[in-house]
């Protein structure tokens, strides 16, 4: 893939894929819920599998995180499924999202660089 294969605001290096089961998703709220999520800056792909009640998300974790997406899910009357496995995945996804965001801001350090001020002549 090239950088042009993604939506605006999405860098492939920061791309994450998420699958979570939801509850209380109905025919009435599903379309608006998915439309709101799909229009978020940083979302590359979003879909909902009705038979498994699972949301599939691909997004740039430096621009958006799972907590922001969950707010939209709850705004429409749905929620993350309350079973052990979904809860574990949800917490892990949030941890990884924060790491991706932190690593994108990190400036690498190298001991092979000359110290600042080295090479300057002093009078």
pLDDT, tens only, 24-64: 999 999 999 999 999 998 899 999 999 999 999 999 888 88
Instruction: Answer yes or no: is 75 within a domain.
Output: yes
Task: Establish if 117 belongs to a structural domain.
Answer: no
DSSP 8-state assignment for residue 5: G
Domain assignment present for 115: no
Structural domain for 88, as ranges: 3-102
DSSP, residue by residue, 10-63: --GGGEEEEEEEEES--HHHHHHHHHHHHTSTTEEEEEEETTTTEEEEEEETTT
Confidence of residue 123 (pLDDT cuts 50, 70, 90): low
Residue 118 lies in a domain: no
Per-residue confidence (pLDDT) for residue 20, from 0 to 100: 94
Q: Please check whether residue 113 lies inside any domain of the structure.
A: no
CATH number at residue 87: 3.30.70.100
Name the domain count of the chain.
Answer: 1
């Amino acid at each position: 893939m090239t950088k042009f294969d993604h939506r605006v605001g999405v860098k492939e290096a920061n791309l994450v894929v998420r699958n979570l089961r939801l509850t209380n998703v109905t025919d009435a709220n599903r379309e608006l819920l998915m439309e709101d999520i799909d229009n978020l800056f940083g979302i590359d792909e979003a879909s909902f599998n009705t038979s498994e009640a699972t949301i599939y998300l691909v997004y740039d974790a430096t621009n958006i995180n799972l907590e922001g997406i969950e707010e939209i899910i709850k705004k429409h009357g749905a929620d993350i499924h309350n079973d052990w496995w979904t809860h574990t995945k949800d917490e892990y996804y949030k941890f990884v999202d924060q790491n991706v965001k932190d690593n994108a801001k990190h400036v690498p350090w190298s001991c092979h660089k000359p110290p600042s001020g080295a090479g300057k002549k002093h009078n």
